[in-house]
Structure 1
Amino acid sequence: MGITVDVAYKSLNKFTEVLCGDKVEILKTEDSNILILADGMGSGVKANILSTLTSKILGTMFLNGATLEECVETIVETLPICQVRKVAYSTFSILQVFHNGDAYLIEFDNPSCIFIRNGELVRIPQNIRVIRDKKINEFRFKVQKGDALILMSDGTIHAGVGQLLNFGWTWEEIAQYAVKQYRLTISAMRLATAICQACDDLYMCRPGDDTTVAAMRIIDSKPVHLMTGPAKNPEDDKLMVSDFMAGEGGTKRIVCGGTSATIVSRVLDKRLDVSLNYVDPEIPPMAYMDGIELVTEGVLTLNRVIQLLKRYVKNETVSEDFFLELDKPNGASMVAKMLIEDCTELHLYVGKAINSAYQNPGLPFDLGIRQNLVEQLKHTIEEMGKTVTVTYY
């Protein structure tokens, strides 16, 4: 079946707390993707320690093939005892999706997973197992492309308690809101952020509990090819463009750099139309070429792209304002949006020719601005959990 997933999460710290008491781990094995959400008792430092320990233990043991019983027993024996409540406590949810479409969900005291298929809510049955006096719901099922699964900490269902809502935001109301957002949004991060933003609004921007929403969407593989810089040897131009244009029908292509765009235009014998419309005074205008999704300027645009991607990776700065910036019609925002929302694997085709406008020709390529930007781009995309390959010419 070849399942590909888009995974993201958004957290709100309890008001006045520096650390979040929820912890999310996103892991990959050879044949699956694993999403873990742990919620430590209380808030602040203690809760952060409890949730971090829980998520790390579960992640490490799952990666090494441990059973659910072994995981729960290890957590019970390992977590430090809270001096106030005299118990060691952290709730958790684990979602493992295999590449063949099999899925495995484990829930302990967190709100139930929201499962959306074909724009409709799918109820997850209760299959309770008792392990070390803990009631754990365990569910095995099949996923298909288009599905969305949402894990939450209990800060979501507490949103608005005693303020805008008497009894908080119920699970059913959150699920219906998620279904509505699912029909509007295209990425896991937009879905998670929308639900978190609604919780923040109900808390009147003063969350009474740590709140985390982690979303996983089952999607098609979306390769993106990005070419930047001319080849060191002009004779390699045709090879570079040929590699850049290779790939399956769904592959999207980006060219960053005026010289690169000219080379692609010449080799493919396609017209290059340069726009004079400065949408953003700090970002050079774009160009257009048949068969290429985005054609932009090079160094300045890539630098802004990396700034946007780093904000995304940092997570705390991702909000409605971030997505408004991502939706702007300038080259940098459009490249960043494609890499965040429409890319599962990135293939970089990088020319090693020295541009004297940006770099002293006496310096080696490895010390150049473009090489530095490529390394930053590769590292940041990998932090997003996507695969990156780089080919130099």
Structure 2
Amino acid sequence: MRENFFTEVNSHQRNHDGERICGDVFIYRYIKEEDRIIAVLSDGMGHGVKANVLATLTSTMALNFTREHKDIDRIAEVIMNTLPVCNIRKISYSTFTIVDIEPAGKVSILEYDNPPAVILRGKEMIEPEWMTVRLETGKHAGKTLRKCSFIPEKEDRIILCSDGVTQSGMGSDDYPFGWERENLIKYASGLVSGDRSVSAQALAGKIVAMAHKNDGYKAKDDISCAVIYFRDPRPLLISTGPPYEKEKDPVLASKIKDYKGKVIICGGTTADLVARELGRSITDNLVFEDPELPPESFIQGIDLVTEGILTLQKVNEILKTYNNSVRLGKGPADKIVRMLMESDEIHFIIGTRINIAHQDPTLPVDLEIRRTVVKRIARLLEEKWLKKVTFEYI
């Protein structure tokens, strides 16, 4: 069952040499009400803006059709008969691979003209039973797609890539016919052997870097790799705000002390009560790593202690534009974002005592109460990063 482990999804891309935009598109969505994940990789014909538009159209359409239709043959028929066809080459303007991960654990993959997905169980390659879907009607009649279904196990990885990976190095002395799928499998398996817990982001990044190296560091095509990794979840607790009733202070401190995972405390009042209840001291840092925020503090056994509402507000702003290419700083908000990205299951404990300071009418209007800011952060984490977020009010 999928609830026994977390599904990490991440990707890395490199544009065709000289292009500012990638002609491959990878998108994924976590459908919270269904506890379902859908991921799509599409490679638009050619490269640059036109290829990106075609791949975006295809991937968006594929994701939406997959979300609405359960039957994989019907999905294939609808998507293929909707895609435009090149008048000269008589082929589709873009390729696609769809991965549909259902809450019960079943994984379904549908491929059209992309390199076949690589499925690793630990470091070993596994090959589920693939079936052919043949289109009987429409402008793509006679075309074939591949589909498979399997039940993943913990430490399984699904590796998707565009042909910019498997064809990298083509024409070189080392790879006259390109890197090819066999070398991709061997390389990925070696990386997993060297680091069994290598993240989806790191694995995708290393595969793209190797393909780029094969091309002599001048990409001859758009290079994309996406990895789906089934593993143990990494929990994180964020406590912000004191309990409504002061008598609940020991309860909050106990929850923080007993939590099995990393812990962040946001708010001076919350930090003071936790330190008091646990009999620990607070050490203040006088170095301002972020001029916009108060510096962090230190409590033994707590991974990070920061100021409250201002820091959370900045976390929200960073998350709005954050992606794998963004370099985080050393400030408190940056550290929180880094820990959020490294975690999978984030539990917020939100104190409901009103902070008198935040009722001052002279403060900026965008200084929102902590509950509103936390909900905005949670929405970004769930929709953009597939994190599982839970709330507890005290």
Task: State the shift of 1:155 in Å.
Answer: 1.0
**1:327-377 Cα shifts (integer Å, max 9, x gaps):** x7x755553333112223442525564474xx6722589741674754553
Alignment of 1:1-393 (within 5 A): 1=1, 2=3, 3-29=5-31, 30-82=34-86, 85-131=89-135, 132-162=141-171, 165-182=175-192, 183-184=194-195, 185-230=197-242, 235=246, 238=249, 241=252, 245=256, 250-267=260-277, 269-274=278-283, 276=285, 280=289, 284-290=295-301, 292-298=302-308, 302=312, 305-306=315-316, 309-310=319-320, 312-313=322-323, 315=324, 317=325, 322=327, 332=333, 334-349=335-350, 353-354=354-355, 356=357, 361-362=360-361, 367-368=366-367, 371=370, 374=374, 377-382=377-382, 383-390=384-391
Q: State the AA in 2 paired with 1:361.
A: D
**1:64-96 Cα shifts (integer Å, max 9, x gaps):** 224233222222322223355454332211222
Distance 1:312 1:117 in 2: 31
CA contact (8 A) 1:186 1:341 kept: no
Distance 2:315 2:342 in 1: 14
Please give the secondary structure, in 2, of the residue aligned with 1:156.
Answer: helix
Q: State the AA in 2 paired with 1:210.
A: D
CA contact (8 A) 1:50 1:89 kept: yes
Distance 1:289 1:15 in 2: 50
Distance 2:203 2:154 in 1: 16
Q: What value does the CA root-mean-square deviation take over the aligned residues? A: 3.6
**1:3-57 Cα shifts (integer Å, max 9, x gaps):** 4311112222222334322222313341532222121222233322332232222
**1:138-180 Cα shifts (integer Å, max 9, x gaps):** 2222211121111111111122334575433222222222223
Distance 1:116 1:80 in 2: 34
% identical equivalent positions: 30
Q: TM-score, normalising length from structure 1?
A: 0.80
Q: State the AA in 1 paired with 2:264.
A: I
Please give the secondary structure, in 1, of the residue aligned with 2:27.
Answer: strand
Q: State the AA in 2 paired with 1:24.
A: F
Distance 2:21 2:336 in 1: 32
CA contact (8 A) 1:350 1:390 kept: no
Distance 1:209 1:364 in 2: 52
CA contact (8 A) 2:242 2:249 kept: no
CA 1:178/1:392 → structure 2, altered by over 3 Å: closer, same or farther? same
Task: State the shift of 1:218 in Å.
Answer: 0.8
Task: State the shift of 1:246 in Å.
Answer: 9.5
Please give the secondary structure, in 2, of the residue aligned with 1:55.
Answer: helix
CA contact (8 A) 2:85 2:92 kept: yes
CA contact (8 A) 1:108 1:137 kept: yes
Aligned length: 378
CA contact (8 A) 2:9 2:229 kept: yes
2:138 aligns with none
Question: In terms of mean alpha carbon deviation, does 124-133 or 171-180 score higher?
Answer: 124-133
Q: State the AA in 2 paired with 1:144.
A: E
Distance 1:165 1:228 in 2: 55
Please give the secondary structure, in 2, of the residue aligned with 1:155.
Answer: helix
CA 1:139/1:289 → structure 2, altered by over 3 Å: closer, same or farther? same
CA 1:333/1:117 → structure 2, altered by over 3 Å: closer, same or farther? farther
Distance 1:345 1:285 in 2: 20
CA contact (8 A) 1:223 1:347 kept: no
Question: In terms of mean alpha carbon deviation, does 372-381 or 3-12 score higher?
Answer: 372-381
Please give the secondary structure, in 2, of the residue aligned with 1:255.
Answer: strand
**1:268-313 Cα shifts (integer Å, max 9, x gaps):** x2313526595957683541333x4433444675566556645543
Distance 1:197 1:67 in 2: 36
Query: Gapped runs of 5+ residues in structure 1?
Result: none
